[in-house]
Structure 1
Amino acid sequence: MHIIKVDAIDSTNTFLRNLNREKRLTNSVCVIAREQLAGKGQMGSVWQSNPGKNLTCSVFMQVKDLQLMDQFYLSIATSLAVYDTLKSLMVPKLAIKWPNDILSDRQKICGILIENVVKNGSIQGAIIGIGINVNQMEFDNLPQAASLKYILGKSLHIEELLYLLLARLEERFSSLHISSFSKLKEEYESVLFRKNKPSTFLDAKGDFFVGIIQNITKEGKLQVLIEDEVVSDFDLKELKLLY
């Protein structure tokens, strides 16, 4: 995979998006930044990262005619690739917090942001932003954040971690076809944070409620068992799972 290294950049996702617009990328490309000045997370949140301390990168992955209705499988494949990478480093108590945060013992160590490249109604590629907290030890006003150094008690080499991650990404994306969807979904659900446990949620109206995560739908909505034995489906804008 071609790797582009930059010192400081607004956003690696924006960089790759512009590169794809200019060159119509057909092969996998990764851009890694020592510092992101305007890194973004889910729902427009800001990704906090000290320069040179963490892995902040974006990867363009080519996708073979994935239908828009199946786009959540990009999130599943990416989440599992990060999960595989961290598991190989013996990071304990790993889980995926829906839709694609990676946790170690309830502490967030990785965030993912995916932008689809769509042509003629199907997904031709994905720009995948990944931020892994590696050697940073303090996170201002983020009590649930942690880093690999904090958890494992040692510093890690960021580029070595990148190569591990890219290999896992390519493995997962090589099997991203309809015949493997059910297996991917099953793997994802098996490591879903708070699955089958009573959890507190915040809905779009600002109300709290208790429910139990069951599974996800094929579209990536979270299926939650609520009162009166009713299972409801929620998308990302409709609720927030509290820790």
Structure 2
Amino acid sequence: MCLSMQNQISNTSEYKLKSGIKIYHHHYNIIPSTQILAREQIHKIKQDSWYLWTANGQTQSIGQRDRKWIAPTNVNVNATYGFLISESQFSLAKFIPYVAGLSIIQVLRKYNLQGKIKWVNDVLISKKKVCGILVENRGKDPSTELYRILVGIGININSEISDFVDLGNKATSMKIETNTSYNIQDIILELSNSFEANMKFLLDSVNLIDEINNNLEKFDGQAITFDTEFDGQHEGIIQGVDNNGALILLIGDKVHNFVNGRILAPIP
């Protein structure tokens, strides 16, 4: 990847998280996307360590279904984590979005903010989006035969209300909620420690379903519109998440479980 002068690495560091595991952290000024860069540099991920790409700003931020947008500079967390998991652990990969969401919620609590997981890739505060999560399985590393996992996380930290003018009342930031500015690097470090610790719980087969359901946004029992992409839209009431990570939706008088799809909006 050829980087312009404004996109050169501004900081490269190696440090240990609270668990003792080493994380290799490359921080950039402005790049197209940490997720794109992570895909290109995925060969760098080492066994028994984590890799982290962060940037002050992004010109081609990537979300679910490869949606792209411009991320404002120096106000939010723009991060992609990379790590390896084994064949025996791969069946647990479907829970990684939840683990990332729980980790973000734990960080928010430290600042007296209450977050909820919007199934399956967002975190909300007061039903407004504060964070998006993108998990990718990039196949096996040829040298280790371990699966390469990338987890993109974008958190609205110091964004202003004016940054969301095109989104109506659907997004928020930590600053908007508390009228306080935050140190982004401190939050990245807190998130890294929380995420790695929770991933260890998951890969050690600790059952997190109760914790997930306790932190799942159920929209106060209000009916929601659910888009399955391949099977059209449904209207139902969220019941929770099952042991396979599927969304449990009450449609009429019948319960249905969905492994794919997205929540569009509560029904007024």
TM-score (norm 2): 0.80
- Alignment partners' CA distance in 2, 1:176 and 1:64: 13
Structure 1 contact 96–192 (Cα < 8 Å) conserved = yes
**Pairing partner for 1:200 from 213, 224, 242:** 224
Equivalent pairs, count: 236
Identity over the aligned pairs, expressed in percent? 25
- Alignment partners' CA distance in 1, 2:219 and 2:159: 29
Instruction: Measure how far apart 1:123 and its partner are.
Output: 6.2
Secondary structure of the structure 2 residue equivalent to 1:141: helix
The letter of the residue matching 1:163 is: L
- Alignment partners' CA distance in 2, 1:190 and 1:6: 36
Instruction: Measure how far apart 1:10 and its partner are.
Output: 1.1
CA RMSD of aligned residues (A): 2.3
The letter of the residue matching 1:81 is: S
Structure 1 contact 196–212 (Cα < 8 Å) conserved = no
Long gaps (5+) in structure 2: 1-22
Instruction: Measure how far apart 1:226 and its partner are.
Output: 1.0
Secondary structure of the structure 2 residue equivalent to 1:220: coil
Show structure 1 runs of 4+ deviating over 6 A. none
TM-score (norm 1): 0.87
- Alignment partners' CA distance in 1, 2:192 and 2:241: 26
**Pairing partner for 2:172 from 142, 146, 153:** 146
Larger RCO, structures 1/2 (Cα 8 Å, 6+ apart): 1
Give the structure 2 partner of residue 86 of structure 1: 108
Instruction: Measure how far apart 1:15 and its partner are.
Output: 1.1
Long gaps (5+) in structure 1: none
> C-alpha deviations, 1:75-108, integer Å up to 9, x for none?
121111111111111113x211000211110111
Give the structure 2 partner of residue 230 of structure 1: 254
Structure 1 contact 196–214 (Cα < 8 Å) conserved = no
Give the structure 2 partner of residue 161 of structure 1: 187
The letter of the residue matching 2:175 is: K
Give the structure 1 partner of residue 97 of structure 2: 75
> C-alpha deviations, 1:144-168, integer Å up to 9, x for none?
0111100011100111111111110
Give the structure 1 partner of residue 242 of structure 2: 217
**Relative to 1, partners in 2 of residues 1:176 and 1:206: Cα closer, same or farther, differing over 3 Å?**
closer
Report whether the alignment pairs 1:44 with 2:66: yes
- Alignment partners' CA distance in 2, 1:17 and 1:101: 21
**Pairing partner for 2:202 from 158, 176, 186:** 176
- Alignment partners' CA distance in 2, 1:102 and 1:190: 13
